[in-house]
A and B are shown apart, each in its own frame.
Chain A
Amino acid sequence: MTQRERPMSPHLMIYRPQLTSILSIIHRGTGVGLAVGTLFITWWLVAAAMGPGPYEATRELYGSWIGLLVLFGFSVCLFYHLCNGVRHLLWDMGYLFEIEQVNASGWVMLCASAILTLVAWSIGMSL
């Protein structure tokens, strides 16, 4: 039996990138990033529970430039996932389904997560 050439459904890559799809995949990406970040939260807590030696070593590591860089990445993931999660919950309740609203809420969410990240770091660095 000869197999007929069947039409393929358009692959994901063929579409022009859109705000909706990009924000959606970043939501998943930040979720995975936060999952990796739980390693560092656990590390910090366990080190503190082990005693002053491991705790100070962890503090030094987390306070180094590479530690701060990882922390910054974690905070970006945290605030993005938080803000976009609220957007998802609003959809779950049946709001903001019109395409203009989806795009507008996307930009609002991006601004909100950027502001929260900046506010958190300006407070954190001043302490």
Chain B
Amino acid sequence: MSLESPLGRVRGLGTAKEGTGHFWHQRLTAIALIPLTFLFVVIVFAFIGADHADAVALMGNPLVATVMLLFLIVGFYHMKLGMQVVIEDYISHEGVKIAALLCVTFGGFTLATASIFAVLKLALGG
């Protein structure tokens, strides 16, 4: 006999109320990051030896800026999901675990915002 209500079964979110969302997003971002990582490496090559004017010109290319923004957005999200799993697996003390999760989430969002703003500023003329 299942104690699950019919509505609960249909929603399929389980006791954690998140269902397979975390697992699925981790995989989706992983797939997206395969081509994005190679493109990011190519962009890093293009920046080798570039002075500031070159860097502004490079980031001003809409393709470069788009790839950089996608890499940063998807990458930081993937990082947050992954670090969350590592923290939940290895830190058993509840208070330390929550503090670490807050650090990763706030830190990740802060770095993501700063780097995205930097790309946009460069792309729009430095």
Contact = CB atoms under 8 A, between A and B. Distances in A.
Chain A, interface size category, equals: 20 to 34
Interface in A25-39: 28, 31-32, 34-35, 38-39
A123 interface: yes
Chain B, interface size category, equals: 35 or more
B115 A42 contact: yes
B27 A82 contact: no
B76 A38 contact: yes
SS of A interface (majority): helix
A32 B119 contact: no
A88 B31 CA distance: 11
Interface stretch (A7-15, A45-53, A94-102, A103-111): A45-53
Given A55-B52, A124-B48, A32 B37 contact: no
Given A31-B86, A92-B27, A38 B45 contact: no
Interface of A: 28, 31-32, 34-35, 38-39, 41-42, 45-46, 48-49, 51-52, 55-56, 78, 82, 85-86, 88-89, 92, 120, 123-124, 127
Contacts of B115: 38, 41-42, 45-46
Interface in B39-61: 41, 44-45, 48-49, 51-53, 55-56, 59
Given A45-B115, A45-B119, A85 B30 contact: yes
B22 interface: no
Nearest to B120: A49
Contacts of A45: 114-115, 118-119, 122
SS of B interface (majority): helix
A89 B27 contact: yes
Nearest to B52: A52
B111 interface: yes
Given A31-B86, A42-B111, A127-B45, 14 more contacts: A32-B83, A35-B82, A42-B114, A45-B115, A48-B56, A48-B118, A49-B121, A49-B122, A51-B52, A52-B51, A55-B55, A78-B41, A82-B33, A124-B44
